Amino acid sequence: MSGAKRGDDWRAQLSAEDRAKVSNLEQKVVHLRDAAGKNAKRRRSKDGKQAGEDQAQSAAERDRARMAEEGGTPLQRLVEIGRAEVLWHDRDGVGYASICRNGHFEHHRIKSRSFRTWLRQAYRQKHQSKIKDKWIPQQPNGASLKEAVEALDGYASDSDVQREASFRVWCEAGVLFLDLGQPDWRATRVTREDITLVPVPAGMYRPSGQHPLPVPKTGPEDVRRGLETLRRLVNVADEDFVLLVGFMLEALGSGPYPILLEWRRRLREVDAMQTDQALDRSGRYGFARPTEIGRGFGGRHPAQLDS
């Protein structure tokens, strides 16, 4: 007799109530078996996920250990490179950095493209990885570079070094410095006697878009010849040439700056009775009073600047 028939004979000997109980027990067994299978599957998935997390954590720990051995995270390395230079600020709290590169000093605003470019290049030169017997420069990520610039700007603002910041032109104790914008960071030092080439003074930075100027000739004779050449090129009267030279010198100063207006010729074009109206501040004829031009030079005529 087959097992199915024996099972059926066994069930047939039970009462209806017992058969219902057996059927209920069988359903519970099936439910428990399915639940056990789901739990086992969930456990395997959890174990696999935990194993992946453990593996990722181990890799992160290895990276942290490697970075600690090499000198910290990219952010820490960038800040370390920047703090090795001279950090300072102006009277408004704007941060600057004076860096030494290629045998000369450069001065940059910390929150500028030129400083970020230098910081990225310095990082690549200092930190390299060996891959298949080749040293490959490392590249800092953008987030670390941005955070490093913010941190360095804060260090510069808290620095004890404060300087006056200027670009292109710097005036100090009657001496004028003009940044030539050349890669060697030289400037012309202009005095009453001569013109010399010197390193750009600390405090002169270069904003983006500042283009180079020609390198001038130096020496007292070159200054004299330069004025003579300018006189030949400018079509003005002798007394107006003094005014023009004074205007150009004041324009290179630290301010306030004068405004050069042509008024002599136009005065001759109007009637003497209309002089006051022509020289009115309202600007009908577009020029100013001679006394206003004198105020632009500290109350003196440009011819008196040397006195």
Q: So where are the chain's domains?
A: 3-51, 76-157, 167-233, 234-307
Would the pTM count as exceeding 0.95? no
Residue 271: band (very low, low, confident or very high) from pLDDT cuts 50, 70, 90:
very low
Q: What percent of the chain has pLDDT over 90?
A: 19
Q: What is the pLDDT of residue 55?
A: 63
Residue 267: band (very low, low, confident or very high) from pLDDT cuts 50, 70, 90:
very low
Q: What is the pLDDT of residues 195-233, one digit of tens each?
A: 888 999 888 898 888 888 888 776 666 666 777 788 888
Q: What is the pLDDT of residue 61?
A: 61
Q: What is the pLDDT of residues 46-55, one digit of tens each?
A: 766 666 665 6
Q: What is the pLDDT of residue 48?
A: 66
Residue 96: band (very low, low, confident or very high) from pLDDT cuts 50, 70, 90:
very high
Res 305 pLDDT > 50: no
What is the 3-state secondary structure of the chain?
CCHHHHHHHHHHCCCHHHHHHHHHHHHHHHHHHHHHHHHHHHHHHHHHHHHHHHHHHHHHHHHHHHHHHHCCCHHHHHHHHHHCCEEEECCCCCEEEEEEECCEEEEEECCCHHHHHHHHHHHHHHCEEEECCEEEECCCCHHHHHHHHHHHHHHHHCCCCECCCECCEEEECCEEEEECCCCCCEEEEECCCCEEEEECCCCECCCCCCCCCCCCCCCHHHHHHHHHHHHHHCCCCHHHHHHHHHHHHHHCCCCCCCCCCCCHHHHCCCCHHHHHHHCCCCCCCCCCCHHHHHHCCCCCCHHHCCC
Q: What is the pLDDT of residue 128?
A: 80
Q: What is the pLDDT of residues 111-129, one digit of tens each?
A: 999 999 999 999 988 888 7
Q: What is the pLDDT of residues 17-51, one digit of tens each?
A: 777 777 777 777 777 888 777 777 777 777 666 66
